[in-house]
């Protein structure tokens, strides 16, 4: 016995095509595998209405939130990305003849493509620094991978024994992760744990130096003379290397600037735009270390164990990993240009 009941729009089109080709009801049923009753009904519907789409798509309970309601809900979500499900439902029901429940709000928002997610945390960038970031991107937009291979990247990072479980959630669509209303800005701050300074280039990982106390100009001068100088002169003997550092106060101290001036014939200090961790690939190496720390079977219980674990993880980062990060610099520059100096996904 052939297939009975409602057919898909494609199957209904096949039925109409067979009948219009001159096949009888029996021949069409035998060819397509549908019952004679179904063949007859579908063809009669086509003759009467001139279309093959099934009218049964509108069967079932009517949706409580129509297209107009979805637009209203979308405006409410975009007006306050941090609103809870209860708040969205309450605001939606104001002035509406027919109210909806939170379950309907959840179903409708998901149908519209919105899901509750944690916002990306990005630095707060001032107008002045947006301009500086844009200037840097324009000045380096023609740099190739070969040019970026001549840069040695550096930064400090702090790793904690314990992590905060605080969560902020927002409503957004899949492609809205970098929408300004979907971001949570962060600022640099201190904290407990182990602080380290590190550097690397496309060619190799550099030293990772634990910092026992707060990094000041005197301590940083020791790092520059004991670690940066031998690394740069070894990796770039032709004096064509660039050393990258961010703009924290100790990096800009007079004794540091004077030291770099005395060695400017050996390498160049890259002029770095403020508030630009997204342009520094070493930030992703810190992410690698952080993930590996969290994945340890036995977590460190004191700062000494934490420091040993960090040093071990750093030493085992693969060459493919850090080389890939340097090779992403052209894409990072394009992202800053596209954002006109604003936040990027990196």
Q: Quick one: pLDDT at residue 46?
A: 85
CATH code linked to domain 9-58: 1.10.10
Q: Quick one: pLDDT at residue 190?
A: 37
d(CA 88, CA 105): 8
CATH code linked to domain 127-339: 3.30.420.10
DSSP string, 181-198: GGEEEE-----SSEEEEE
**In terms of residues, how long is the chain?**
346
152: enclosing H helix or E strand: strand 151-159
53-56-60-62 Cα dihedral, nearest 10 degrees: 40
Spatial CA neighbour of 231 closest among 201, 254, 251: 201
Q: Quick one: pLDDT at residue 48?
A: 83
Q: Which conformational region is residue 153 in: left (phi greater than 0), alpha (psi within -120 to 50 degrees), or beta?
A: beta
Give the chain's largest Cα–Cα span.
96
Q: Which residue numbers in the chain have pLDDT < 50?
A: 164-166, 187-191
User: What pLDDT, in 10s, does the model give residues 66-120?
Assistant: 888 999 999 999 999 999 999 999 999 998 888 999 999 999 999 899 988 888 7
Q: Quick one: pLDDT at residue 234?
A: 96
The answer to whether 9-58 and 127-339 have equal CATH topology is no
Domain boundaries, the chain: 9-58, 67-113, 127-339
Q: What is the mean pLDDT of the chain?
A: 88
Q: Quick one: pLDDT at residue 188?
A: 45
Q: State both tokens at 154.
A: 């550096």
d(CA 142, CA 134): 14
* Distance from chain centroid for Cα 257: 36
Contact 58, 158 (CB under 8 A): no
d(CA 223, CA 330): 29
């Amino acid at each position: 016995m052939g297939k009975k009941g409602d057919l898909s729009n494609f199957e209904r089109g096949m039925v109409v095509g067979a009948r219009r080709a001159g096949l009888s009801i029996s021949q069409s049923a035998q060819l397509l595998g549908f019952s004679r009753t179904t063949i007859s009904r579908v063809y009669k519907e086509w003759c009467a209405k001139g279309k093959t789409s099934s009218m049964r798509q509108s069967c079932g309970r009517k949706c409580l939130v129509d297209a107009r309601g979805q637009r209203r809900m979308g405006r409410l979500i975009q007006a306050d990305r941090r609103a809870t499900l209860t708040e969205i439902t309450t605001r939606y029901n104001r002035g509406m003849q027919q109210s909806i429940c939170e379950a309907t709000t959840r179903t409708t928002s998901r149908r519209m493509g919105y899901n509750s997610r944690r916002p990306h945390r990005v630095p707060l960038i001032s107008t002045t620094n947006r301009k500086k970031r844009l200037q840097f991107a324009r000045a380096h937009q023609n740099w190739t991978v070969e040019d970026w291979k001549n840069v040695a990247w550096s930064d400090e990072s702090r790793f904690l024994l314990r992590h905060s479980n605080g969560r902020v959630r927002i409503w957004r669509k899949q492609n809205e992760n970098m929408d300004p209303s979907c971001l949570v800005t962060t600022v640099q701050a201190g904290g407990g744990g182990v602080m380290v300074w590190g550097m690397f280039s496309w060619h190799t990982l550099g030293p990772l130096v634990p910092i026992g106390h707060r990094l000041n100009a005197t301590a940083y001068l020791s790092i520059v003379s004991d670690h940066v100088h031998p690394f740069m002169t070894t990796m770039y003997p032709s004096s064509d290397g660039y050393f990258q550092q961010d703009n924290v106060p100790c990096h800009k101290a007079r004794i540091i600037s004077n030291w770099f001036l005395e060695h400017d014939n050996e390498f160049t200090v890259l002029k770095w735009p403020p508030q630009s961790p997204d342009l520094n690939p070493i930030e992703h190496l810190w992410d690698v270390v952080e993930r590996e720390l969290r994945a340890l079977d036995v977590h460190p219980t004191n700062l000494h164990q934490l420091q040993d674990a960090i040093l071990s993880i750093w030493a085992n980062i693969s060459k493919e990993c850090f080389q890939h990060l340097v090779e992403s610099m052209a894409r990072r520059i394009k992202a800053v240009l596209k954002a006109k100096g604003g936040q990027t996904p990196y």
